[in-house]
Amino acid sequence: MSTRTPRKARALPIGLALAVLLGFVVCLLGSSLKNTVQVFFEPMAHSFGQDRGSFALATTVFALTYAVAAPLTGMLADRIGPARVLLAGTVLAGVSLLGGAQVSSFPLFVITYGILASCAYTMLSYVPIGVLVDRLFSDGRKGFFYALLTNGTAGGFILLVPLWTWLGQHTSWQRVLTGLGLFLLVVIAPLTALLQRQSPARTTAGEKTTDVSLRSRWRLVLHSTVLWRLAGAFFACGASMAFIDVHEITYLSDHHISSGVTSASLILLGACEIVGSLVAGRLCDRGSVKRVLMGGYLLRGASMFVIAIHPTPLLVLVFGIMFGTSYLVTVVATSVWVMRVFPVEIKGVAMGLIWTAHQVGAALSSQLGGTIYDLMHSYVPLMVATGCMALIAAFVVAATPFSPHASTPQSLDPMEAAT
């Protein structure tokens, strides 16, 4: 069952527009914690004397740390406000990048990048951004603005990946990480502090809150059958995204795809990500959350089969369009679903647990991709498996009811005004 929200077109107040801009910038630069390693994966592995499967341990630990940190970050965002979480994440991101550039031993890099940088990325990405949007907008525009802010990831593909690729031809990855870390600490952290002036500390406009104990928050969320279904589907989203984040550039290089075609594919991916997510956000605001999510998973699965056939330059570009269109559709629709059906007191925890499932999928895909390549010299089994999982996720979503009463335990009845 879906409800249609009347369309409202009006300008944002200056303070709110500033908060949206800063949120986008934070998400954009936060994506560099992943796309720098995506670009420098092979030279980093060589620097530490590791093969691809062994170096993938760093990205696997990164994904697993995110899986653990996501619900904790959501709990913090519920309790102290998303703006403070974003500020702490910006500082930690700068510190972890500086540390990662200085360490010379691979185990230390795994700790610095896999744990510290992952915690920072968790605090700069989808979970606190979702809570921030939920508290800033209460008039049926949450889906659109959540898509807008999280398009910082798309900006990373369009702006940062080509930048890192170009810098990699002129300097070392250590210098890139050092410069980026200093920029986050000196420039972005003070700007992020301004978000606290616009973000409500505890409540969303128009929503009533009830004081809920920590134990009750976890119990109420974990008893939601719909959360488990959404999390299971989101596992497939994480598994397929890990191929892009960790293995795609290396896979295309193995098949002698030129750097120009690879960059063009990633730019197309980022551009289509922007368009797809904004359209998805608008459709979700109009009540089509379930249909949007199903479509996103179907397109995701199809795109993985396209790239697994044979990565010719044309198919690589087609893949960028298809995967890019679906890239944030699944994220936006899943997050709006959580915003709609869970009370304000536990939205952050619920969203965090959804991302736990996502990152478990990403961790398995990251590690298995490297291991399978070392054994079989091919990424095709990984791509076929993730494509099949995305198609299964579409069927799981189709069988899931979109209703607050079907997704939250009866013990939440006193707080249903928040949904």
Q: What is the dihedral of CA 223, 227, 228, 232, to 10 degrees?
A: -170
Q: In the predicted model, is pLDDT for residue 180 greater than 90?
A: yes
What pLDDT shows up at residue 100? 92
CA angle 195/198/201 to nearest 5° reads 90
Query: In percent, how much of the chain has pLDDT > 90?
Result: 31
Q: In the predicted model, is pLDDT for residue 339 greater than 70?
A: yes
- Alpha-carbon distance of 257 to 33, in angstroms, equals 25
Mean pLDDT over each residue of the chain, to the nearest integer: 83
**pLDDT, mean of residues 305-328:** 89
Sequence letter at residue 334: T
pTM, whole model, 2 decimals?
A: 0.75
- Show the domains of the chain with their CATH numbers: 19-198+216-400 (1.20.1250.20)
Residue 256 CB-density burial (10 A; 0-12 exposed, 13-18 middle, 19+ buried): exposed
Kind plus residue range of the DSSP H or E element containing 95: helix 82-102
Interval 203-233: pLDDT, tens:
444 444 445 556 666 677 777 788 889 999 9
- Alpha-carbon distance of 136 to 248, in angstroms, equals 36
CB 132 within 8 A of CB 23: yes
CB 391 within 8 A of CB 304: no
- Alpha-carbon distance of 334 to 400, in angstroms, equals 12
Q: In the predicted model, is pLDDT for residue 1 greater than 60?
A: no
